[in-house]
């Protein structure tokens, strides 16, 4: 009798009971930072490189009873995420995603900064930032609107990208501090744009940059991000530790 009254009271006050809390229908959308490139254990996901260590999979594992749909794919741009959305269930209750870096030319930025001069790198980053500020907002709006239209009851959670470097840091070789600072500024611009558009769409923005501080490239504990590595596509992507500490932890702090 007391237990029944307790459940009824919890429901009347809006608290989640164990049964309701475990009934999430969770969809992970997005690009390589959501698929888990760099974190290993890709199973049979092919070129999408969906990792068993990705933050979405970690969250699903930690919430028993969750129905998990893993659609994030390496290399995805906003147009690709729109296709992912068309494949997701309309009864989703939680959607997470990262997107925008590939639209802004992340891969070319890294290539230019690795092979070019300081000024060439700064110029390429500035071009990417201009794109992010002027063109990307409209593309993000389409993605967020499509997600909310497909699954109206879902909570939309969008995560940022990390800053890649500690500047100045412990690295004695590789890119100059000028290049490292420029690349970091690109991540900051993306975070600002994404945060603004997520808020306008009524979603939640989760900033992962603080979680990566002290664990990024050239930091004392550079264990959250790969530098230049093999396979090349895993360069500048979170390690398994980065997915857990840099993405999963901020996500759970934000939504439980």
- Catalytic, 195? Answer no
Question: Global pTM?
Answer: 0.89
Question: What's the whole-number average pLDDT of the chain?
Answer: 91
Question: Residue 231's pLDDT is what?
Answer: 76
pLDDT tens per residue across span 176-224: 999 999 999 999 999 999 999 999 999 999 999 999 999 999 998 889 9
- Catalytic, 63? Answer no
- d(CA 193, CA 108) in angstroms, rounded, equals 20
173 vs 239 pLDDT, higher one: 239
Reply yes or no on whether the pLDDT at 18 is more than 60.
Answer: no
**Nearest CA-CA partner of 247 in 30, 16, 23, 5:** 30
**pLDDT bucket at 97, cuts 50 / 70 / 90:** very high
Catalytic residue among 74, 222, 226, 237: 237
Reply yes or no on whether the pLDDT at 2 is more than 70.
Answer: no
The answer to whether 48 touches 36, Cβ cutoff 8 Å, is: no
**Nearest CA-CA partner of 70 in 93, 91, 88, 90:** 88
Catalytic residue among 12, 32, 160, 176: 32
**pLDDT bucket at 98, cuts 50 / 70 / 90:** very high
How do 94-98 and 155-159 pair as beta strands? parallel
The answer to whether 99 touches 78, Cβ cutoff 8 Å, is: yes
Laid out side by side, the sheet with 25-30 consists of 67-70, 25-30, 94-98, 155-159, 204-206
Reply yes or no on whether the pLDDT at 21 is more than 70.
Answer: no
160 vs 2 pLDDT, higher one: 160
Name the one residue in this structure whose structure tokens are 């009347």: 12
Question: Residue 228's pLDDT is what?
Answer: 83
Question: Residue 49's pLDDT is what?
Answer: 97
């Amino acid at each position: 009798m007391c237990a029944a009254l307790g459940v009824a009271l919890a429901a009347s006050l809006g608290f989640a009971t164990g049964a309701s809390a475990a009934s999430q229908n969770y969809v992970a959308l997005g690009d390589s930072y959501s698929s888990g490139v760099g974190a290993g254990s890709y199973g049979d996901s092919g070129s999408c490189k969906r990792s068993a260590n990705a933050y979405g999979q970690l969250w699903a594992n930690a919430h028993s009873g969750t129905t998990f749909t893993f659609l994030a794919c390496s290399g995805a741009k906003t147009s690709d995420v729109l296709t992912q959305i068309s494949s997701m269930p309309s009864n989703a209750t939680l959607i997470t995603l990262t997107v925008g870096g590939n639209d802004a030319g992340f891969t070319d930025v890294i290539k230019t900064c690795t092979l070019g001069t300081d000024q060439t790198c700064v110029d390429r980053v500035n071009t990417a930032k201009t794109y992010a500020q002027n063109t990307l907002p409209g593309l993000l709006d389409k993605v967020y609107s499509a997600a909310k239209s497909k699954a109206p009851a879902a909570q939309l959670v969008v995560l940022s990208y990390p800053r890649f470097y500690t500047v100045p840091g412990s690295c004695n070789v590789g890119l100059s501090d000028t290049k490292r600072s420029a690349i970091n500024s690109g991540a900051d611009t993306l975070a600002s744009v994404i945060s603004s558009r997520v808020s306008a769409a009524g979603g939640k923005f989760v900033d992962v940059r603080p979680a990566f501080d002290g664990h990024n490239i050239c930091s004392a504990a550079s264990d959250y991000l790969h530098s230049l590595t093999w396979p090349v596509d895993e360069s500048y992507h979170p390690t398994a530790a980065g997915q857990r500490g840099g993405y999963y932890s901020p996500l759970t702090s934000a939504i439980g």
